[in-house]
Structure 1
Amino acid sequence: MLVAAAVCPCPPLLVPEVAAGAAPELDDARAACADALGVLAAARPDRLVVVGPADETGRGQYPEGTPGSFRGFGVDVDVRLGRGRPDPAAMDATAPERELPPSLAVAAWLLTRTDWADAPVAGLGVGERLEAEQCVRAGRELAAPDQRVALLVMGDASACRTLKAPGYLDERAAGFDAEVARALGSADIPALKALDSALAHELKASGRAPWQILAGAAENTPLSGSLLYDEAPYGVGYLVAAWS
């Protein structure tokens, strides 16, 4: 069963070495992420699953110990998912010896920053166009009834909040982000399930599929939510929430 969840944004800019001189601009977001991870630790889960968006080559499962890096963003920073070494038997047979996709690499960095050692960790990279029904089904499968499972859910809201945003200004973005923030802050499972996948894609909201996986995992668990951060630096919606 799902005992806790943390929702965090996944921009590589959360890593100070990547952000460089702009690093202080996301200090509040980093602090909120640390608070959300504290909620996960307090729940004492048997297993932590990190879920984040991934492109076609990054989809699938990642066992504890899978490496990742931010070298593609111009910095010599390496990470590893959890504390263990990867078990070859647990690797996704379709793509062995892969590195973490960027969203899961950010999650691995957050876990390292908070010195996570509370439970084994596994990762799941999901396609941003995965249908809502499939997301909910995947969430149900993650919340195994015989284990206390926690989720670290990575993903950004819209990237269209300002003229200088990656997706330019879209007048629908602020309303979409406000509804997502409300749903995450109140653990509103039906609202998350009902998110419009086509609109989310148009607004470049990479978190839609991971949020709907969370909704599926939380279906039969009475969790309460708390919104810890809701800002749009650089025109991209970054949300942090904790469910417990």
Structure 2
Amino acid sequence: MLVAAAVCPCPPLLVPEIASGAAGELDGARAACYDAVAVLAAARPDRLLVVGPAAPAESGEFAAGSRGSLRGFGVALDVTLGAGEPGARPLPPSLTVGAWLLERTRWDAAPVAARALPEDAKAADCLEAGRRLGAEEGRLALLVLGDGSACRTAKAPGAFDDRAEPFDRAVADALARADTAALADLDPVLARQLHVAGRPAWQLLAGAAEGADLDGRLLHDEAPYGVAYLVATWT
């Protein structure tokens, strides 16, 4: 049973050591993420599953103790997902940022595991995976990672697209209302065209939260660098 979810962006720039002189520009997003993780802890879950997007070859399950590295982004920083024996595979970037968030907030509320969803995962598969999670026994919390569109300005990674802001606004509204149907209806083709990384994880959340009667709260909604960063909680 899903009892709480936190939705956070996962750009490596969220890590101050990577952002360096620009770290202050993401202070608001960073603080909102910390607050969202605190909401998860307050829900007293039996377990936490961290969910984020990945290249198909990097997708799959990751146990506690799995490690990730931010060295590819220019800083000598490694992170570990919870407590456990080191896994055979490194965490993909989205889950590495998630593990960093948990380390930064000193997560100790419940055992942790992670799942990386293929960036091109079908909506139906994401929803069904979420429904299976929601049907399991015990109190489940989700840390759901993923950015919105990367096409909000001409200098954005995906260049400007006038469809990006309406798409992000619809997602923000759905997160604020804990609207599972709206997230389930997100168009994977449009999301891919707008370089939306969060779509698979948001749709897994939608499946897991069906019938859970959770309330949503939007904590942060900005698009620095032309990329939408949304933070929300469902409890």
TM-score normalized with structure 1 length: 0.95
Indicate the residue corresponding to 2:49 in structure 1. 49
CA RMSD of aligned residues (A): 0.9
CA contact (8 A) 1:83 1:117 kept: no
1:144 CA displacement: 4.0
AA matched with 1:133 = A
Deviations 1:213-242 (A, max 9, x none): 000000120100000000000000000000
Indicate the residue corresponding to 2:188 in structure 1. 197
CA contact (8 A) 2:132 2:208 kept: yes
* Residue 230 (str. 1) matches residue 221 (str. 2): yes
Indicate the residue corresponding to 2:90 in structure 1. 99
Please give the secondary structure, in 1, of the residue aligned with 2:83: coil
CA contact (8 A) 2:56 2:119 kept: no
Indicate the residue corresponding to 1:94 in structure 2. none
- 1:1-244 aligned at under 5 Å gives the runs 1-86=1-86, 97-244=88-235
Deviations 1:93-132 (A, max 9, x none): xxxx110000000000000010000101001001111111
Counterparts of 2:127 and 2:22, CA distance in 1: 37
AA matched with 1:30 = R
Counterparts of 1:45 and 1:24, CA distance in 2: 32
Gaps of 5+ in 2: none
4+ long deviations beyond 4 Å: none
1:141 CA displacement: 1.7
CA contact (8 A) 2:53 2:200 kept: yes
Please give the secondary structure, in 1, of the residue aligned with 2:131: helix
Please give the secondary structure, in 2, of the residue aligned with 1:3: strand
Q: Give the share of equivalent positions with the same residue, in percent.
A: 63
AA matched with 1:26 = L
Counterparts of 1:110 and 1:164, CA distance in 2: 27
CA contact (8 A) 1:61 1:123 kept: yes
Equivalenced residue count is 235
1:57 CA displacement: 2.0
